[in-house]
A and B are shown apart, each in its own frame.
Chain A
Amino acid sequence: RKEVEQDPGPFNVPEGATVAFNCTYSNSASQSFFWYRQDCRKEPKLLMSVYSSGNEDGRFTAQLNRASQYISLLIRDSKLSDSATYLCVVTSNTGNQFYFGTGTSLTVIP
């Protein structure tokens, strides 16, 4: 069973669109949750941490549902520069390890 599952996409959306990504995780003991973005052949870069209360950073909103073991990311007013792969990341129950999803590919089209 995969620790983190994501829809790989690809998502192709026009500029200005709103797009949502979802992710599920299997370990109910996981304590921390993140979204990272990864550009082609580059390192994962932290986009935001995810909390049960939900958090927003500009055009990005992340939400965690612990009961359903489900994490979401909403991007509003998509920009061309948002084109990347978005990685859902969950810590192990020891906190010593990060489990990565396979990533969801987003292309924003002019």
Chain B
Amino acid sequence: EPEVTQTPSHQVTQMGQEVILRCVPISNHLYFYWYRQILGQKVEFLVSFYNNEISEKSEIFDDQFSVERPDGSNFTLKIRSTKLEDSAMYFCASSEGLNTEAFFGQGTRLTVV
């Protein structure tokens, strides 16, 4: 069964460092997303991406964040200068189209120290 894969599963970084979280969406999906979940809180939308550009982003997704689809398979989230409050589980997801089911990767646990 096709699945979304994310690497790494866990990343520890020092405050102020840049991190890149990687995702391989399901191959025939056209819409890609990043969500995050701070421990004990709800899943929060960061950004959606379609046709090589951002289609929607939340207020969390400020200038410190960027996304890229560098090739035909990978979808990355970069956090330029990490803060302690960026510590969370980051989930990548993909869907075939708008308003269709999204399938989530297993997540990257980011810990900023």
Contact = CB atoms under 8 A, between A and B. Distances in A.
A61 interface: no
The A interface, classified by DSSP as helix, strand, loop or mixed, is: loop
Interface centre among B35, B98, B103 (most CB of A within 10 A): B98
Interface in B97-113: 98-107, 109
Nearest to B101: A46
Contacts of A103: 42
B106 A42 contact: yes
Contact of B104 (A41, A44, A97): A44
Contacts of B50: 96
B65 interface: no
Interface residues of A, number: 23
Interface in A72-110: 87, 91-92, 94-103
Interface in B30-51: 31, 33, 35, 41-45, 48, 50
Given A41-B89, A44-B91, A103-B42, A96 B56 contact: yes
A43 interface: yes
Given A44-B91, A49-B101, A94-B56, A99 B45 contact: yes
B91 A91 contact: no
Nearest to B43: A100
A31 interface: yes
A31 B42 contact: no
A21 interface: no
Contacts of A42: 106-107
Contacts of B64: none
A94 B54 CA distance: 13
24 contacts: A31-B99, A34-B101, A42-B107, A43-B104, A43-B107, A44-B43, A46-B103, A49-B101, A87-B43, A92-B56, A94-B56, A95-B98, A95-B99, A96-B48, A96-B56, A96-B98, A97-B33, A97-B48, A98-B33, A98-B35, A98-B45, A98-B93, A98-B102, A99-B45
